[in-house]
Amino acid sequence: MTVRFIQIDSITLREIHLSLKEPFRISSGVTHTRKILLLEFKTVDGVVEWSECVAGEEPNYSPETIDTAWLAIREWVVPRVLGKQFRDPGEVRPILEHDFRGHNMAKAAVEMGIWALAARASGVPLSKLIGGVREEIEVGISLGIQATPQLLAEKVKRSLDRGYRKVKMKVEPGKDIEFVRVVREAIGPEAHLMVDANNAYAEGDFKTLQELDWFNLMMIEQPLAWDDLVAHAKLQKLLKTPLCLDESITGVDRAGDMIELKSGRIINIKPGRVGGFSSSIAIHDLCAAHGIPVWCGGMLESGIGRSYNVALASLPNFILPGDISPSERYWEQDIVVPEWTMSREGKINVPNDKPGIGVEVDRDRIENLTVRSETLRTAR
Ligand code: OSB
Ligand code: MG
């Protein structure tokens, strides 16, 4: 099918609640049940596709929440795209950025949905549409803060046995050096281990952070304040372990600043955090040009959000395993068919034989899980 343009007729927002198998604790908060904002798009030609807004329940990771995103999508994002004719999904980002600051996750949910609609309408997989080159991606797991180092070490060992190619453990002051030491002892010196602090440290903690250099970590993710590239540059100078930035990188300009200031040597790209796929691809390309490895982070997505991460991680410079675990790591039952599965070798297949996001959505299940919905459509 040749598609001349994508024109959206309606977008339905839904909030569903999905309980995690176990609570996920990071330094800035704990999640028991994900409140997930789903978007269902319909084009004037009857093509349907889904996307997910990754904003959290509370503003502890980014300033956005599911409620601010709902408001932003309804009031400012959707009116800019509804009824417009897009010849290329790359046209969406400038329209959403013009005199419209922030709200990256709200923008991303719509921008990425249009990428997937374009893929679905043309009968091509999303990964191919954005230039993906992989048939499978390497998978890591992100483990929340645990009560004791021993409990954590058990979980890390089990994850490596299951095939995960990288284990990320969350740390915070008081649950850092001893936890890393016990884990490292349990898994041996070479196993792929990293830590993520979600901004929990400050300049007074540099001594503690320097001790982490002893444990052969792949990287230390976002130890300092989310908006402080200068402090990260000071810290990186003192460490041999690479810093990886997550919260700090809200777009390609911040990625450029990181490179210029030497605030970090690796970037965790989450397409929601940076405003969508065009922005993610720009960061990916900039990093590739500077020899900076990237990997795809996660936001405890349902199977719908996960499909976008899988497609993104198929780009060539995603050379480290992502926080893209299979459905069973998070949920008793996912909302997509088939669910996302991981091989014994710690890989997820990129669904390059299917159009659009590459999975079908379990509509009945979503209906049952929905706590509110709203349809925005072109005036007729
Ligand atoms: O910092 O990477 C993070 C989840 C919610 C908010 C922030 C982060 C995370 C994760 C989870 O680490 C990764 C996943 O989706 O498995
Ligand atoms: Mg992180």
Q: Any idea what the CATH number is for the domain that residue 294 is in?
A: 3.20.20.120
Centre of ligand 1 from the C-alpha of residue 323, in Å: 7
Centre of ligand 1 from the C-alpha of residue 271, in Å: 13
Which of 188, 178, 170 is CA-nearest to residue 150? 178
Q: Is 168 helix (H, G, I), strand (E, B) or coil?
A: strand
The atom number, within ligand 1, closest to the CA of 329 reads 16
Contacts (Cβ under 8 Å, ≥6 apart) of 107: 72, 77, 93, 96, 97, 100, 275, 276
Q: What's the pTM value of the predicted model, to 2 decimals?
A: 0.97
So which residues are the catalytic ones? 170, 270
pLDDT for 300 equals: 98
Domain shared by 158 and 178, yes or no = yes
Cα(98)–Cα(93) distance, integer angstroms:
9
Domain shared by 210 and 146, yes or no = yes
Domain shared by 154 and 255, yes or no = yes
CA distances (Å), origin 267, targets 244, 285, 286:
5, 12, 11
Residues 81, 83, 84, 85, CA torsion sign: positive
Binned average pLDDT, 10 residues per bin, the chain of 380 residues: 82 98 96 98 96 97 98 98 96 98 98 98 97 98 98 98 98 98 98 98 98 98 98 98 98 98 98 98 98 98 98 98 98 98 98 97 97 92
Q: Which tens digits make up the pLDDT trace of 206-242?
A: 999 999 999 999 999 999 999 999 999 999 999 999 9
Residue of the nearest CA to atom 13 in ligand 1? 298
Range of the domain at 84: 6-123+359-377
Ligand 1 neighbours by CB, cut-off 6 Å: 26, 61, 142, 196, 198, 246, 297-300, 323, 325
Residue of the nearest CA to atom 8 in ligand 1? 299
Cα(284)–Cα(267) distance, integer angstroms:
9
Domain shared by 27 and 137, yes or no = no
pLDDT for 2 equals: 56
Q: In the beta sheet, which residues pair with residue 172?
A: 175
Domain shared by 92 and 234, yes or no = no
Q: Which tens digits make up the pLDDT trace of 266-311?
A: 999 999 999 999 999 999 999 999 999 999 999 999 999 999 999 9
Number of domains comprising the chain = 2
pLDDT for 61 equals: 97
Domain shared by 82 and 181, yes or no = no
